Homo-oligomer: A and B are copies of this chain.
């Protein structure tokens, strides 16, 4: 039987040592073949997603390697959750600068293994290369939904309610606190709150435990990774509807609320910053209570934040004074 190549090249040994323990599915052949086999679950569609994270862009150079690994997998798991899909596995393409050694890789692989187990999403294969650039972690994840049941961006209908999981804006606030240590004092945040917010930036908490619940009750949905306002506008354009959001209903953590109280202009940043990895979904009013209750029972707070109207693809956020908020930049983009 195929065994990973402990006697092979440096690359083979690296893969055998660090990544073989993550390849628990028999279709991964213990990473000793050129490709893996996935036997699709009967009656299911596969949901496919690829997302990469890059050092200095999506994470900071001194982030712990295990957190980098977890973030790389979790940004993909978050999309599977938003689509109502159960994770099946992932492929990993890892580009590493010369200075990355065994200690970094051990920690990276440990974090990845923990999350692969936690989310039931084993490694199926991939490749490892040297790069003259920054660490680049590209993951392609695949999940399963019953045939035809993927939650789409295009499913929102006039009359639906809009909900969000968890809290919005913590990650962008955490990044700000990380980059500007003086900000915590200015915003009235103690060390524990600051650390909680920074952790929200460093380590997304994808909402996979509510994927099945969303699939039963939501009409449309997507994950919030580039900012609530911009992502909701994408959903509205895909569905051909408008969303009217009560900005005062958008769920904020205790720390985010304190920061906004100290500096009200921050609210716009929290609503347009990236890296939330929460889910926005739409649901017919008759499904709303069941969705919120079952999600709560699964440990995820789901909050109603507005409604869907007939329209042409706009998302309006009504501020505390009853007027729509105006955002300089509704969502994060790597390209102008």
Contacts and interface: CB of A to CB of B under 8 A. Distances in A.
B335 A57 contact: no
Contacts of A154: 1-2, 29, 32-33
A130 B335 contact: yes
Contact of A34 (B49, B52, B132, B333): B49
A125 interface: yes
Interface string A36-47: 111110001111
Interface in A60-114: 79-80, 82-83, 85, 91-93, 95
Interface in A217-239: 222-223, 226, 230, 233-234, 237-238
A9 interface: yes
Nearest to A14: B335
A133 B136 contact: yes
Interface stretch (A145-153, A168-176, A190-198, A302-310): A145-153
Contact of A46 (B37, B52, B131, B136): B37
A33 B153 contact: yes
A117 interface: no
A319 interface: no
Given A83-B34, A153-B34, A333 B10 contact: yes
Q: How many copies does the complex hold?
A: 2
A202 to B, nearest CB: 18
A230 B9 CA distance: 8
Contacts of A58: 129
A238 B33 contact: yes
Contacts of A130: 57, 334-335
A54 B131 contact: yes
A36 B49 CA distance: 7
Contacts of A223: 34
Contacts of A54: 95, 129, 131-133
Interface residues on A, range: 35 or more
A300 interface: no
A50 interface: yes
A8 B237 contact: yes
Contact of A138 (B85, B138, B150): B138
Nearest to A75: B127
Contact of A48 (B44, B91, B95): B91
A216 to B, nearest CB: 18
A188 interface: no
B48 A124 contact: yes
Interface of A: 1-3, 5, 7-14, 27, 29, 32-40, 44-52, 54, 56-58, 79-80, 82-83, 85, 91-93, 95, 124-134, 136, 138, 140, 142, 145, 147, 150, 152-154, 222-223, 226, 230, 233-234, 237-238, 313, 331-336
16 contacts: A2-B152, A3-B238, A7-B313, A8-B234, A8-B331, A10-B334, A29-B152, A32-B154, A37-B48, A37-B150, A38-B45, A40-B45, A40-B46, A48-B125, A54-B95, A57-B131
Q: Which 10 A-B pairs have the closest CB atoms?
A: A133-B133, A9-B333, A140-B140, A10-B335, A138-B138, A40-B40, A50-B91, A52-B93, A2-B238, A93-B138
